[in-house]
Structure 1
Amino acid sequence: MKRALITIIVIALALGGIVYLLNKNKAKVEQETAVVAQKNAAVAVRIDTARNQQMSLAYQANGTFMPKQEVTVAAETGGRVVRVLVDEGSRVSAGQTLAVVEGDKLNVNVANAQASYDNAQATLQRYESALATGGVTQQQVDQMRLQFENAKNNLKSAKLTAGDVTIKTSVSGIVNSRKIEPGAYVSAGTPAFDIVNVSTLKLRVNVDEKNVATLRLGQTVQVLASVYVDKTFSGKITFIAPKSDGSLNFPIEIEIANNPNNDLRAGMYGTAVFGGEGTTSALVVPRNAFVGSISDNKIFVLKNGKAIETKVTSGRSFGDQVEVTSGLAAGDQVIVSGQINLLDQSPVEVIK
């Protein structure tokens, strides 16, 4: 009995010690968590400074070169391809024959029409001769002349149809893709060749509302190609969209005459340089200081360790810098990274 009592006491003391240690550890963990939470209450951000700078009046917009003309030439008559006269990369001219489709059946039609024409012509001549001697009436001659005209028209139609056995291009350019081979059978409308004309190209770019007002149709624009760092090209504005997209950007189309070597190719990355060569003084901030799009005109400014949501008025864009015409002063520290985690008056910690 005494031994059992001692055992119970020992177990009770052990359990009490375990509970004590658990409570002590729990308090320590809660204390450490509170410290960490206090430290993490500040949102980590990066900042930059609004400053007055001399900015170039020229601004750039990027896009991709597109061919001015791009057509798919199709077969106009069904049949077996006899010859293909051009390869991919060949230069072709408008009206040039690209391939020949077997036309035996069509040639038979031409021969039949020719025989009918010859017969009608000979008969008409006999009738006209017989009219002078009274062998036929004028009405019979007129009817024969009508048959002759019909035969002549049928012969023209047969020859035109027979001419369709050649596949021709309606534009000049370069064969970008050949889709048929000799021996293949084609139907009317079967795509045969893709022809691309790169003697003139188009560059389509987007210009924001602050800069589109300075552009006009026919204006000369300097154009750069990313693959030719030592070459410049000249283009003219041929289209200015009357309506902006959802980001208040206006599509602009520029036409560029390629050089004699056709160095520019469709699909290359291009840059249009708008504006003059002068400079202007402007209060600017980095583009990534704006929360959302630039048109939202919202920036967080760092004041006394807190992020202050500030409404500004944006002006012109200068590449990675954007002009601010109101809402900021030179020297204001603006937050350029970490805004997604910020609310107005959020405490922040600046990191480098």
Structure 2
Amino acid sequence: TQLYQLRVQLSSLQKDLSRLDTLLRTGSATEQQYDQMKTQYDVLKTNVDFMEENTLLRAPFTGVITGKYFENGEMYSGTPTTQSGRSAIVTIMQVNPLKVNVSVSEQYYPLIVNGMKAYVTSDVYSGEVFAGRVFRKAPTVNPMTRSFISEIELPNRNDMLKPGMFVRVSMDMGEVATFVVPAASVLLQEGTNTRYVFIEEDGIAKRLEVQLGKRFDDQLEIISDNLREGDHLVTEGQSKLMNNDGIEIVM
């Protein structure tokens, strides 16, 4: 390679310069000859240093190579080589510690703080619990899902967990009062992600769009504030209703 050739030339020139220095001391060489060779050596040394700095890749973390896009001797072109559309020579993935991304309902935003403990389990390792801590939470909430991303730093004991694995995360956020309704009462508008229910007001069916939180067996958490305690929720026959249909309550 070019770097190897430059190193050989530099080594040879260094020896010549050393011999010329000896000749200079005995008067067998002139200062001009020495200065000319010293300049050649300095220029070549600068080129070698530049090549070493720009041909040796140092990762900012310890990890494993998961993708290699160039072979030895190939010229780096800068052409996109990864799935993300970026140009790369290799892809390195950190495996210890790992980062776990968790989608959390917006109502828990004030309860998630940096440093709080999180416990991770995987179906691959039954009975194993991995302890980590929250180190970052997103500054914004996704308006479509009404949730935000919380990032957990997880020491990977014995490198058991692998990037891309599905895991479950639990965090102790204390007790939170929540509002739930029967799951069967919540309908999905066809072709959309819109969820809605019907309530009864003075014998009229009123359609209300709702935002869902967690599921608790046959109950669904409602996180929007347009459905309130005391509303008469329609739990049977609601799939046949239209907004403002007349209905009769059967006790």
> Does residue 256 in structure 1 map to residue 154 in structure 2?
yes
CA distance in 2 between partners of 1:107 and 1:297 (Å):
66
Give 1 or 2: higher strand fraction.
1
Q: Are residues 1:285 and 2:186 paired?
A: no
Out of 187, 198, 221, the position equivalent to 1:322 is 221
Counterparts in 2 of 1:243 and 1:164: CA distance versus 1, 3 Å:
closer
Deviation at 1:218, TM superposition (A): 1.2
CA contact (8 A) 2:204 2:246 kept: yes
Q: TM-score, normalised by structure 1?
A: 0.50
Provide TM-score, normalisation by structure 2. 0.66
Contact 1:239–1:252 (Cα < 8 Å) also in 2 = yes
1:217 equivalent in alignment to 2:107: no
Question: Are the counterparts in 2 of residues 109 and 158 from structure 1 also a CA contact under 8 Å?
Answer: yes
Partner Cα distance (1:349, 1:155) in 2: 92
Work out which structure has the larger RCO, using CA pairs closer than 8 Å and 6 or more positions apart in sequence. Answer: 1
1:1-352 correspondence runs (5 A): 103=1, 106-130=3-27, 141=31, 144-145=34-35, 147-148=37-38, 150-152=40-42, 154-155=44-45, 157-158=47-48, 161=51, 170=59, 171-178=61-68, 186-188=74-76, 193-247=90-144, 248-260=146-158, 262-276=159-173, 283-286=179-182, 289=185, 299-302=197-200, 307-309=205-207, 317-320=213-216, 321-322=220-221, 327-329=228-230, 332-335=232-235, 342-347=242-247
Shift of 1:211: 0.8
Matched position secondary structure for 1:243: coil
After superposition, the Cα gap between the structure-2 partners of 1:266 and 1:107, relative to the gap in structure 1 and judged at 3 Å, is: closer
Distance in 1 separating the partners of 2:243 and 2:235: 12
- Structure 2, unmatched stretches of 5+, are 79-87
CA 1:343–1:180 in structure 2 vs 1: closer, same or farther (change >3 Å)? same
Structure 1 gap segments, 5+ residues each: 1-102
Count of equivalent residues: 230
Identity of aligned residues (%): 16
- Distance in 2 between the 1:310 and 1:161 partners? 67
Contact 2:6–2:44 (8 Å) recurs in 1: no
- Alpha-carbon separation, structure 1, partners of 2:201 and 2:116: 46
- Is the 8 Å Cα contact of residues 120 and 144 (structure 1) preserved in structure 2? yes
Cα root mean square deviation, aligned:
4.5
What letter corresponds to residue 225 of structure 1 in structure 2?
Answer: S
Indicate the structure with greater helix content: 1
In structure 1, C-alpha distance between the alignment counterparts of 2:116 and 2:236, rounded to whole Å: 36
Per-residue deviation at 1:159?
Answer: 7.2
Q: Distance in 2 between matches of 1:161 and 1:280?
A: 60
Counterparts of 2:110 and 2:199, CA distance in 1: 31
Q: Which amino acid aligns with 1:113?
A: L
Shift of 1:240: 1.2
- CA gap of 1:256–1:189, structure 2 versus 1, over 3 A, is farther
Aligned counterparts of 1:125 and 1:219: Cα–Cα separation in 2:
69
Query: Is contact 2:182-2:235 (8 Å) kept?
Result: no
